[in-house]
Amino acid sequence: MKRDKQTKTEVRLFLVTQWEKEQEYLQRRHREGWKFERISGLAVYHFTRCEPEDVVYQLDYHAEGGKEDYVQLFRDCGWEYLQDFMGYSYFRKPRAAMRGDEGIFCDSASRLEMLQRVFRGRMVPLLVVFFLAVLPNLWESVRSGGEDRAVLSFLFLILFFVYLCIFLSFGWKVWQLWREESR
Amino acid sequence: MDAHIKKVYVPMTETGFYILLCLQEEAHGYRIVQRVEELTAGEVRLSPGTLYGSLSKMEKDGLIELVREEEKRKVYRLSALGGQVLALEEKRIERLYRNMREVQENEAR
């Protein structure tokens, strides 16, 4: 972590399903006087010094991200558009400009639809890679054994667990939303 | 009206209903937000993510039509199909209201 007076960068990894955690993280930083500027690389967050303020950050996953009419509607509703990154659009709005609690979604149906977009955009490709590359390769290297393949087996084993974590966290997310919806 | 439309939109979400109700006149997204705030005295405030998603889906399903673009804002209007769906919803909501009153009156007796 690099630190000077006016700017800082932080490396934070969030799974594709952890946008709520990411929103909370950005909100927390803003409350501490660090305003989010942009995200770059894989997970490098850039901040600048600011007055501590309660600002709500929201992420939407959308193929339309960045499109003029899409951004304009959010602007009209008082949300500042920050950037698009890996399919996610970043927005923020100061709590002081809100009446009560406010988010970019106002019902469970649309939250569920966002989850579906994440699933189609990110999970489907992952599942394809998982079943067509990770699983067969893991199976192959374990079956053939041999010292020379130990490293490869280990790598595929790690990949296997990373993928498993992502799938489980996605399943957990769906379960949470489903519970919310049926409450 | 095909079975798919009926299954998806009857009954529909509050957001969906207000969109169709408002789009009997041409309007862009934010105009719908304002109109709904007026109608409900601020009790229902549509969020942009929800609204954008509903508008896109309704346009794709042919319930609403794009009239024109006005300074980056898409102006929509109800289509004939949208009108039929709205009429179905209105009937359903009238029935709900009627039944609610009937049951309440019976209990009051």
ipTM of the complex: 0.90
- Nearest neighbour of B73 by CB, restricted to A64, A72, A107: A72
A68 touches chain B (CB under 8 A): yes
User: How does residue A171 score in pLDDT terms, banded at 50, 70 and 90?
Assistant: confident
- Mean pLDDT, residues B93-97 taken together: 95
pLDDT (tens digit per residue) in B51-89: 999 999 999 999 999 999 998 999 999 999 999 999 999
Cβ within 8 Å, pair B73-A104: no
* pLDDT for A18: 84
Distance from C-alpha of A107 to C-alpha of B47, rounded to nearest angstrom? 9
- Nearest neighbour of B30 by CB, restricted to A73, A105, A113: A73
pLDDT (tens digit per residue) in A112-160: 888 888 888 888 888 888 888 888 888 887 777 766 677 778 888 888 8
Q: Which of A172-176, B27-31, B90-94 has the weakest average pLDDT?
A: A172-176
- Nearest neighbour of A113 by CB, restricted to B45, B53, B72: B53
| Residues of chain A contacting B50 with CB distance shorter than 8 Å | 104-107, 109-110
User: How does residue A105 score in pLDDT terms, banded at 50, 70 and 90?
Assistant: very high
User: Is A56 strand, coil or helix?
Assistant: strand
User: Is pLDDT at A169 greater than 80 in this prediction?
Assistant: yes
* pLDDT for A143: 79
* pLDDT for A52: 95
Contacting A residues, span 18-57, partner chain B, CB-CB under 8 Å: none
Distance from C-alpha of B109 to C-alpha of B97, rounded to nearest angstrom? 19
Separation in Å, CA A142 to CA A136, A146, A158: 10, 9, 13
Question: How large a percentage of chain B has pLDDT more than 90?
Answer: 86
* pLDDT for A183: 65
Cβ within 8 Å, pair A77-B30: yes
* pLDDT for A65: 63
* pLDDT for A127: 86
Q: Which of A18-27, A74-83, A91-100, B1-10 has the weakest average pLDDT?
A: B1-10
Distance from C-alpha of B74 to C-alpha of A79, rounded to nearest angstrom? 18
Going from the N-terminus, what domains does chain B have, and what CATH number goes with each?
3-108 (1.10.10.10)
- Please name which of A160, A154, A24 lies closest in space to residue A92, comparing C-alpha atoms: A24
Token pair recorded at residue B35: 């109109």
A147 touches chain B (CB under 8 A): no
Element (H, E) at B4: helix B3-9
User: Is A102 strand, coil or helix?
Assistant: coil
* pLDDT for A150: 77
B27 touches chain A (CB under 8 A): no
Greatest alpha-carbon pair distance for chain B in Å reads: 58
User: Is B46 strand, coil or helix?
Assistant: coil
User: Is pLDDT at A82 greater than 60 in this prediction?
Assistant: yes
pTM over 0.90: no
pLDDT (tens digit per residue) in A1-60: 545 579 999 999 888 788 889 999 999 999 999 999 999 988 899 999 999 999 999 999
B29 touches chain A (CB under 8 A): yes
**Which residues are CB-contacts of A5 (< 8 A; sequence separation ≥ 6)?**
A49
User: Is pLDDT at A64 greater than 70 in this prediction?
Assistant: no
Residue B66 to chain A, least CA–CA distance (Å)? 12
